[in-house]
């Protein structure tokens, strides 16, 4: 559950720096879409994943995996080609490690669920 907090905090900080225009702030417009709404959507999915994981909901890790994918839009490998890399590298590395942890946990849980279903079916 704590793995969800790091990317959420980083995305939240990106959204705040963009809105307040604190340097180095992300651009308001990105290639695929406006960055503000996509960051807000990622935070909403992350918040939902956090609540679902805390409650132990059945599809919580699927939501966490979706959050990890949306966080990659902001903190994916493309961050290493950003002109402001010298100022944003700590956030990029921490977020990527947290995203990797979320994806690994989600995949391990999915495999574990498939194995237990196969045992019950047999």
Q: Which of 61, 62, 64 is nearest to 47 (CA)?
A: 64
CA 35/CA 105 separation, integer angstroms: 28
pLDDT of residue 117: 75
Q: Is the dihedral of CA 52, 58, 3, 30 positive or negative?
A: negative
Running along the chain, 122 residues long, what does each successive block of 10 average in pLDDT?
65 74 62 68 84 83 88 84 82 87 87 78 60
What per-residue confidence (pLDDT) applies to 24? 65
Which residues does 34 contact at the CB level (< 8 Å), separation at least 6? Answer: 28
- φ and ψ of 56, to 5 deg: 75, 30
The per-residue pLDDT for 90 is 86
Structure confidence at residue 108 (pLDDT): 87
Distance (Å, rounded) from C-alpha 92 to C-alpha 79?
Answer: 7
- Location of structure tokens 């080609």: 81
**DSSP state string for 49-65:** HHHHHHHT-TTHHHHHH
């Amino acid at each position: 559950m704590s793995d969800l907090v790091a990317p959420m905090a980083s995305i939240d900080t990106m959204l705040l720096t963009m809105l307040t225009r604190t340097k180095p702030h992300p651009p308001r417009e990105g290639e695929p879409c406006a960055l503000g709404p996509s960051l807000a959507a990622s935070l909403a999915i992350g918040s939902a994943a956090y609540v679902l994981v805390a409650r132990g909901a059945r599809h919580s890790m699927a939501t966490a995996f979706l959050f990890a994918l949306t966080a990659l839009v902001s903190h994916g490998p493309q961050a290493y080609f950003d002109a402001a890399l010298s100022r944003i590298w700590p956030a990029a590395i921490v977020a990527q490690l947290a995203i990797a942890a979320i994806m690994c946990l989600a995949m391990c849980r999915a495999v574990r669920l498939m194995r237990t279903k196969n045992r019950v079916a047999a």
